[in-house]
Amino acid sequence: MFVEDVLTGAVRYGASVLYATQGELIAERSGIVNLGTEGSMLCGALAGFAVAAETGSALPGVFAGLIAGALLALVHAYVVINRGANQLAAGLAITFLGLGLTAAIGTSYVDRRIDGLGEAPIPLLSDIPLFGNFLFSHDLLTYGALLLAPLLWWFLFRTRWGLLLRATGEDPEVVHAYGHSPQKIRYLATVAGGALAGLGGAQLVLAFTLNWVENATAGRGFVALALVIFAAWKPLRAMLGAFVFGGAAALQLQLQARGIDVSSFVLEMVPYVLTLLVLAIASWRGGQQMPAGLKAVFDSGRAR
Amino acid sequence: MSTVAAPAPPVDSAPAGADLRKRVLDGVRRIAPIAVPLLLLMLLPALGINQQDALVRATPFILTGLAVAVPARAGLVNVGGEGQLFMGAAGAAAVAFTIDGSLPSIIGIALVMLGGAAGGVAWMAVAALLRLGAKVNEVIATLLLNYVALSLLAYLVFSVWRDPGAAGEAITPELDASLLLPTLGPTTLVNYGLFIAIGAVVLVWLLVDRSRWGFRASVVGGNPEAARRAGLPVNRTLIAALLVGGALAGLAGAIEVAGIETRLRTGIGFGFGYIGFLASWMVGHRPAWIVSAGLLLAGIAVYGDSLQIDHGLPAKTVYIVMAGVLLIVLSVRGGAGKRG
């Protein structure tokens, strides 16, 4: 059924972006903007794919993706936190680094095949009409993406660590006064964000495309950046945003699969245009509570 | 930030020697942006990098670098050089296919270049509208528009201008010979686009570092609120800074079409916009220095091409080096930059 296929596709396609969005959200809550999220996704995707190809099993690939994404984010954290580099420029350089690394290492994996993370339908629940397919018959990582949003919400707004993280993004001085190191918290947040972006990349290749091509993520990390702003730094709204993006992409695939005559190039733009549109509407209506520490980052482009 | 003038140094009767030293240093500082690229150019062959290839490649990098530097002066971050270059290439092709061989070469080429600049401006106008109309941060707007532009370019090449004679490959027909940028000589690939780029550097330097507009832009970039209170036309300055950037990146696309590729194809100038971003940040958005950064990155890129040919490594491998250079520069400069 068309609607069901689109919804199922939205979840599976949106999951990779959702991981990256939540990762970026964590980093930004601590006051670090990471344009390297795209690079972390790429590294996670290649590491996941390569390990799955070498071991013949997708599960180790998941961990490899997580670690690869975290490692790249670690570079961003060091350059930005320890060296005081501009966050926007450093982030883009990090993405470039990820693009170069994965292009170089990935050539030998271009034609490889892998067994992806198989679908694991949840008994009984997956038989529910309409909802069964799009919520309860996915792979491990896609379920994880669905669970991540409420978990992250709970962490951010119901735990002491979450409060510390949010405070770091608002006013690091206060955190310092309470005897915590804002720098350490920012390190942890940035690296955790990269790990989630890496998971997103791994989800993309292990559960969705099942192949590796150069620049496999094609800007999903940057979409994540837009969705964080759309979501006003709230995990549950981020989930909504990611599934709107995923839905637009799934719609494109379904229309193509059904041979409906719309230029594929026009359809390719739809997810990006839609992301910009929802962001424009959200920004225009205002009312976004950007963490206070972030404003300076987004305004940091001025010449020196 | 730097709009607040530093307290004037105490006027003392410094010994004549100090004055002379200052003058010499000033002179060196002025010559350096010209001397460094020349030095770099002379060094390239020693590293096994073809000088002419590097010059050809540096041309778009210089222009996309300037496309970042001009908005940066007004405090704006343009990450959309990529998309503006694609649309500039499309604009140039659109003009070229319209006028074909109907005009004298020099006028035709000028119109093609204008078409490129217009394409870049049009694409940047979307980002400007999002930024000033809907308050979407320009980093996000320009980034996402790159992907839209990529699809739009593919659509134009595949569905609108596709050369029916070219089986398999998706390319447009060639431009009329009268519209191609001439090369500097019969044996070289270096074309007049290089002079367009260097001319643009001079003009942008005059605009940004020597004109009233440039000063106003830096005030707006430093503190928009203060600028608004002082009665400066803030929005107009921001829009102008963005659109000039778009025009420069668009021009890079036009030069790729009319100078190098002789036609439009989907992979045209891929990555050049991002490399321009690296170039501009490397030199702190100082227009005079962008030639040096562009040439350095071009040297690395040409080396990457030879890696691909000789060792089967993808050309993008050298992105690692480019990113590394910028990260080091940012790290070294980072601490000093905190004075802002």
Alpha carbon distance A97, B64 (integer Å): 19
Radius of gyration of chain B (CA): 21
Alpha carbon distance A271, A252 (integer Å): 9
Contact B147 A299 (CB under 8 A): no
- For chain A, the straight-line distance linking the first and the last C-alpha, in angstroms and rounded, comes to 57
- The 10s digit of each residue's pLDDT in B55-89 is 999 999 999 999 999 999 999 999 999 999 999 99
Alpha carbon distance B133, A290 (integer Å): 19
DSSP assignment letter at B167 = -
Q: What is the reported pLDDT for A133?
A: 67
Q: What percent of chain A has pLDDT over 90?
A: 55
Alpha carbon distance B44, B56 (integer Å): 14
Q: Does B331 touch chain A (CB under 8 A)?
A: yes
Minimal C-alpha gap between B129 and chain A (Å): 10
Q: Does A263 touch chain B (CB under 8 A)?
A: yes
Contact between residue A224 and residue A208 where contact means Cβ atoms under 8 Å apart: no
What total of structural domains would you count in chain A?
Answer: 1
Contact A107 B313 (CB under 8 A): yes
- Please give the structure tokens belonging to residue A86: 């501009």
Q: Does B290 touch chain A (CB under 8 A)?
A: no
- Which has more pLDDT, B54 or B307? B54
* Nearest CB partner across the interface for B137, out of A86, A218, A298: A298
Mutate which of B66, B126, B148 to disrupt the A interface (most A C-beta within 10 Å)?
A: B148
Contacts of A304 in chain B (CB under 8 A): 2, 284-285, 333, 337, 340
Alpha carbon distance A207, A140 (integer Å): 9
Domains of chain B, each with CATH number or no CATH: 50-332 (1.10.3470)
Contact B143 A225 (CB under 8 A): yes
Helix axes A2-29, A140-158, angle to 10 degrees: 40
Contact B136 A35 (CB under 8 A): no
Minimal C-alpha gap between B232 and chain A (Å): 17
Minimal C-alpha gap between B5 and chain A (Å): 14
- Please give the structure tokens belonging to residue B5: 């003038």
Residue of chain B with shortest Cα separation from A91: B327
Alpha carbon distance B219, B211 (integer Å): 13
Mean pLDDT of A87-114: 93
Lowest-confidence segment of B17-21, B36-40, B193-197, B278-282 by average pLDDT:
B17-21
Q: Does B136 touch chain A (CB under 8 A)?
A: yes
Task: Using pLDDT thresholds of 50, 70 and 90, give the confidence band for residue A292.
Answer: confident
Q: Is residue B2 over pLDDT 50? A: no
- In this structure, what are the phi and psi dihedrals at residue B154, rounded to the nearest 5 degrees? -60, -40
- The 10s digit of each residue's pLDDT in B247-263 is 999 999 999 999 999 99
Task: Using pLDDT thresholds of 50, 70 and 90, give the confidence band for residue A63.
Answer: very high
Q: Give the residue from A69, A75, A90 showing the smallest Cα distance to B326.
A: A90
Q: Does B337 touch chain A (CB under 8 A)?
A: yes
The residue type at A6:
V
Other Cβ atoms less than 10 A from the Cβ of B39: the count is 12
Mutate which of A37, A96, A266, A295 to disrupt the B interface (most B C-beta within 10 Å)?
A: A96
Residue A168 lies in a domain: yes
Alpha carbon distance A76, A94 (integer Å): 7
Residue A304 lies in a domain: no
DSSP A132-174: HHHHHS--HHHHHHHHHHHHHHHHHHHSHHHHHHHHHHH-HHH
CATH assignment at residue A49 = 1.10.3470
Sign, CA dihedral B314-B315-B318-B323, equals negative
- Please give the structure tokens belonging to residue B37: 């690229």
Within 80-119 of A, beta carbons closer than 8 Å to B belong to 83-86, 88-90, 92-94, 96-97, 99-101, 103-104, 107
- The 10s digit of each residue's pLDDT in A213-262 is 998 998 999 999 999 988 989 999 999 999 988 988 888 878 877 777 67
Buried b (16+ CB within 10 A) or exposed e, B85-101: bbbbbbbbbbbbbebee
Residue of chain A with shortest Cα separation from B160: A263
Burial of A147 (0-12, 13-18, 19+ CB in 10 A): exposed
Task: Using pLDDT thresholds of 50, 70 and 90, give the confidence band for residue A208.
Answer: confident
- The 10s digit of each residue's pLDDT in B91-124 is 999 999 999 989 999 999 999 999 999 999 999 9
Q: Is residue B14 over pLDDT 60? A: no
Containing structural domain, residue A234:
2-298
Minimal C-alpha gap between B209 and chain A (Å): 12
Contact between residue B68 and residue B81 where contact means Cβ atoms under 8 Å apart: yes
Residue A181 lies in a domain: yes
Residue of chain A with shortest Cα separation from B208: A303
- The 10s digit of each residue's pLDDT in B132-170 is 988 898 999 999 999 999 999 999 998 889 888 777 677
Q: What is the reported pLDDT for B336?
A: 43
Contact between residue B146 and residue B270 where contact means Cβ atoms under 8 Å apart: no
Q: Give the residue from A178, A144, A146, A162 showing the smallest Cα distance to A66.
A: A144
Q: Give the residue from A79, A290, A51, A56 showing the smallest Cα distance to A194.
A: A79
Buried b (16+ CB within 10 A) or exposed e, A171-204: ebeebeeeeeebbebbbbbbbbbbbbbbbbbbbb
Residue of chain A with shortest Cα separation from B337: A304
Contact between residue B194 and residue B294 where contact means Cβ atoms under 8 Å apart: no
* Nearest CB partner across the interface for B144, out of A104, A266, A275: A275
Contact A280 B130 (CB under 8 A): yes
- Tell me, what's the ipTM? 0.91
Residue A233 lies in a domain: yes
Contact between residue B16 and residue B23 where contact means Cβ atoms under 8 Å apart: no
Mutate which of A37, A302, A304 to disrupt the B interface (most B C-beta within 10 Å)?
A: A302
Lowest-confidence segment of A84-98, B8-22, B191-205 by average pLDDT:
B8-22
pTM for the predicted model, two decimal places: 0.91
| 3-state SS class at A121 | coil
* Nearest CB partner across the interface for B144, out of A75, A100, A272: A272
Q: Give the residue from B333, B277, B323 showing the smallest Cα distance to B300.
A: B323
Q: Does B155 touch chain A (CB under 8 A)?
A: yes
Contacts of B331 in chain A (CB under 8 A): 79, 83, 85
Mean pLDDT of B4-23: 64
Minimal C-alpha gap between B29 and chain A (Å): 17
